[in-house]
Amino acid sequence: MYLKSERMGNIRLSVHSAEHTYLRQLLIRRRLDLGLSQRALAERMDVVHSFVGKVETGDRRMDIFEFIEYCRALDWDASEVVRGLQEGSV
């Protein structure tokens, strides 16, 4: 599920768009697959646990650098996640 160019009229989509919701679900599923609580993930990232909660509920957007750190804490290569989103394979 990747944004097609014709759908990118407003590049700054709501965190509640289908694309953001899909990405949040991927991140949540990965965290749970690793057996991590939100607190444990936050500790890996050295952030307050509410950061993880807000990202997962869509109350907070991540910039690209936060996304990279988030993926790293999930033992995921951020570029592979993005590639998977582009190809629709994640």
Angle, CA of 23, 65 and 90, to the nearest 5°: 25
d(CA 77, CA 73): 10
Q: Would you say residue 49 lies in a domain? A: yes
d(CA 77, CA 57): 22
What local confidence, expressed as pLDDT, does residue 17 receive?
Answer: 76
Please count the structural domains in the chain.
Answer: 1
> Can you tell me the mean pLDDT for 1-17?
54
Question: In this structure, what CATH number is given to the domain that contains residue 70?
Answer: 1.10.260.40
Q: Would you say residue 51 lies in a domain? A: yes
Tens-place pLDDT, residues 39-88: 999 999 999 999 999 999 999 989 999 999 999 999 999 999 999 888 87
Q: Would you say residue 75 lies in a domain? A: yes
**Model pTM?**
0.80
Asked whether 24 and 56 are in contact (CB, 8 A), the reply is: yes
What local confidence, expressed as pLDDT, does residue 62 receive?
Answer: 92
Tens-place pLDDT, residues 19-30: 888 899 999 999
d(CA 42, CA 83): 25
Q: Would you say residue 57 lies in a domain? A: yes
* Residue 30, domain extent: 23-87
Q: Would you say residue 31 lies in a domain? A: yes
Q: CA separation (Å) from 90 to 2, 42, 51, 62, 78?
A: 10, 23, 24, 19, 12
